[in-house]
């Protein structure tokens, strides 16, 4: 009898010990997770500017005790997220809201959207929450997406054509290494429009296709042959001689605007007199900067003779 009681006590002690060890492991895991979250938050704060850091540090977790405020915060987080946001991720940000509270808030948001008949709805996707437009609006969204992709395709096609025109023949991998983006879709489109064609296979492992331009490419851009393309030096010279945007924006004003309380309307007589008068000194000074040196040295009689 005594031996049986002793055996029962030993079993209870072992079970308690295992339970204690399990609790310690859980506690250690929670502490490690909390330390990791603090380190991640610290590293994230180091990459922020002073104003951004002030905005983060000014957040007060006690504000979320107000259920209306908490509801708005959860809605903003789901709205701003580019992927489904899980309750655990929301809890990690808010810290004071529990998973059950977050689920209750999400249920209230769903009900609010249904009552107000909004164009979007709150969906549960992959264990998280995401705001998505309703299906009946898909054709309108598809239309604007097609317009956006058409503009992007045009720019991508021109870049790919320019690379091929100057460095052909090239493989798809070589084009992508120069552009830095995937070009499989662009190459297919250009081949469908007969601007490029397969001109052979490269003698490397895998023997990838090599692409080059077609006669339609020359016809479309008004070229007799590829040698008619401007050279790289000519393009560089055109770019260097062109007016830069910064210089264009930074040019000073040529005509002074009268600084009065109310602008006075010019009469037809005043306009005629203004046309007949010579430019002001400031206008002459600004225009003279752009004139050739020979024009500056020309006398009035010489100018009249040229005219």
Sort 153 into a burial class: Cβ within 10 Å, 0-12 / 13-18 / 19+: middle
- Rounded Cα distance between 99 and 93, Å, is 12
Bridge partner residues of 302 (DSSP): none
Query: pLDDT-based confidence at 151, cuts 50/70/90?
Result: low
Domains of the chain are: 59-133 (1.10.10.10), 139-232 (1.10.10.10)
pLDDT tens for each residue of 88-106: 899 888 888 899 999 999 9
Sort 71 into a burial class: Cβ within 10 Å, 0-12 / 13-18 / 19+: middle
Whole-model pTM? 0.43
pLDDT tens for each residue of 181-215: 888 888 888 888 889 999 999 988 889 999 999 99
Distances (CA, A) of 230 to 32, 51, 189, 236: 63, 49, 25, 10
Q: Is the peptide bond before 169 cis (omega within 30 degrees of 0)?
A: yes
Residues 6+ apart with CB under 8 A from 89: 128
Q: What is the share, in percent, of the chain residues with pLDDT greater than 70? A: 65
Number of continuous H segments (helices) and E segments (strands) in the chain: 15, 5
Of 180-184, 230-234, 302-306, the one with minimum mean pLDDT is 302-306
User: What φ, ψ does residue 128 adopt, rounded to 5°?
Assistant: -130, -175
């Amino acid at each position: 009898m005594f031996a049986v009681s002793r055996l029962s006590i030993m079993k209870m002690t072992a079970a308690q010990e295992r339970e204690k060890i399990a609790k310690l492991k859980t506690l250690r895991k929670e502490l490690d997770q909390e330390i990791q979250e603090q380190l991640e938050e610290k590293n994230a704060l180091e990459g922020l500017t002073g104003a951004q850091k002030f905005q983060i540090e000014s957040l007060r977790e006690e504000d979320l005790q107000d259920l209306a405020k908490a509801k708005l915060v959860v809605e903003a987080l789901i709205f701003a997220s580019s992927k489904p946001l899980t309750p655990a991720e929301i809890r990690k940000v808010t810290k004071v809201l529990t998973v059950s509270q977050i689920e209750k808030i999400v249920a209230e948001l769903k009900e609010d959207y249904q009552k107000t008949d909004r164009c979007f709805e709150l969906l549960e996707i992959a264990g998280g929450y995401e705001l998505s437009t309703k299906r009946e609006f898909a054709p309108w969204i598809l239309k604007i997406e097609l317009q956006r992709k058409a503009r992007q395709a045009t720019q991508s096609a021109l870049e790919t054509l320019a690379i091929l025109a100057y460095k052909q023949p090239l493989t798809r991998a070589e084009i992508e290494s120069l552009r830095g983006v995937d070009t499989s879709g662009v190459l297919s489109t250009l081949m469908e429009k007969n601007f490029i064609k397969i001109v052979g296979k490269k003698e490397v492992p895998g023997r990838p296709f090599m692409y080059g331009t077609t006669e339609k490419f020359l016809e479309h851009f008004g070229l007799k042959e590829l040698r008619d393309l401007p050279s790289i030096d000519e393009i560089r010279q055109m770019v260097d001689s062109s007016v830069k945007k910064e210089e264009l924006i930074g040019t000073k004003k040529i005509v002074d605007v009268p600084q009065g309380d109310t602008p006075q309307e010019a009469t037809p007589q005043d306009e005629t007199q203004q046309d007949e008068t010579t430019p002001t000194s400031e206008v002459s000074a600004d225009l003279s900067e752009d004139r050739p040196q020979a024009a500056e040295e020309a006398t009035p009689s010489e100018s009249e003779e040229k005219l």
